[in-house]
Amino acid sequence: MEHLLATLEHIVLGNSLRAWGLAALAFAFTFVVVPTLRRIVARRRRARLDEAARLGRPMPAGVDLVAQLASSTSRLFLLTLALYFATRILALPPRLDHAFEFVIVVTFWLQIAWWGVEATRYGLNRQLGQGDAADATRAGSFEVLLFVARIAIFSFALLLALDNLGVQIKPLLAGLGIGGIAIALAVQT
């Protein structure tokens, strides 16, 4: 038993074998459990939508939105989430830790942006569903609104990711504001 404990304290690449084992367990647990929960939520959402359609009543909006957001979570985000939990256990060299931090922050904000787009799509679909389905103007407006929302959401997420990575975004925001004023003045004439 003492030999096993001594082996677990053996240092490999700056971390004990115990830390490597815990990091591997955290990664595997996160990478298996969270996607499984995502699949369960997606399956239950489909079943509830079928049941609601069969009974002729809509699903509660909040429950449906949360289920749609959960099912739209990307595998890259789940992989990054597992990587995040694993790297919190290990003591990594500063450059590698910075690289992991960069990947985690960018992936996190991309997923937040994607959730924002999906929530916008959900809201627009609910609004579109209240009118005549054959209304071509509404369908065209839907696509335009979704495109504008997608650009705004991803731009906002990019700015937040840059801010989290330590980039000064105030000068960028000032430049965007001045550019916006110039475009507005040019459109007037």
* pLDDT for res 154: 94
Beta carbons of 20 and 90 less than 8 angstroms apart: yes
Give the pLDDT confidence of 93-109 residue by residue, as tens digits. Answer: 889 889 999 999 999 99
- Name the DSSP class of 58: P
Q: Give me the residue label for tokens 């389905």.
A: 133
Asked whether 109 and 164 are in contact (CB, 8 A), the reply is: yes
pTM over 0.75: yes
Alpha-carbon torsion, ordered 117, 168, 164, 103, to 10 deg: 80
The count of residues in the chain is 189
